[in-house]
C-alpha cells in the first residue's frame, strides 16, 4: 500500500462526506474510540477484528494527512530505530529499553 496515496484518499473521502478534517481533538477522540472497538472485538472474540484495525489505520492516515506527515516514511524510520534497540528484563520481569 502506498501510504501517502492512502492518506490523500482518506481525506478526500472525509471531504466528500462532509466529515471532520480540521478538529484535531475530535479526530483523536474518534481514533481512541476505534482502538477501543478493536480491543473489544479481540477481547470478546466478536465482530471483525481486521475491520476494526483497518478503522484505526484509517484514522491514523487521516490525522497524518491533516498534519502533513508522511506516515509510511515515519513508520519506516521508527522501525529502523526499534530494530537497533536493546532490551533487558527489568526488576519486575518487564523488558526495559537500555539507554546509552
Could you give the CA distance from residue 44 to residue 60 in angstroms, rounded to a whole number?
24
Render pLDDT for 60-93 as a digit per residue (tens, 0 to 9). 999 999 999 999 999 999 999 999 999 999 889 8
Task: Please state the rounded mean pLDDT for residues 38-61.
Answer: 96
CATH number of the domain enclosing 31 = 1.10.287.1080
Task: Please state the rounded mean pLDDT for residues 30-37.
Answer: 98
Share the mean pLDDT of the chain: 96
- pTM assigned to the model: 0.88
H/E stretch holding 97: strand 95-97
Domain that holds residue 43: 3-97
What is the total count of domains within the chain?
1
H/E stretch holding 12: helix 3-16
Amino acid at each position: 500500500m502506498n501510504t501517502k496515496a492512502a492518506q490523500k484518499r482518506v481525506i478526500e473521502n472525509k471531504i466528500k462526506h462532509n466529515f471532520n478534517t480540521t478538529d484535531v481533538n475530535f479526530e483523536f477522540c474518534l481514533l481512541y474510540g476505534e482502538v477501543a472497538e478493536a480491543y473489544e472485538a479481540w477481547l470478546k472474540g466478536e465482530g471483525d477484528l481486521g475491520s476494526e484495525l483497518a478503522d484505526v489505520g484509517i484514522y491514523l492516515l487521516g490525522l497524518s494527512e491533516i498534519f502533513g506527515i508522511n506516515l509510511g516514511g515515519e513508520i519506516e524510520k521508527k522501525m529502523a530505530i526499534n530494530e537497533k534497540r536493546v532490551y533487558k528484563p527489568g526488576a519486575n520481569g518487564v523488558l526495559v529499553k537500555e539507554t546509552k
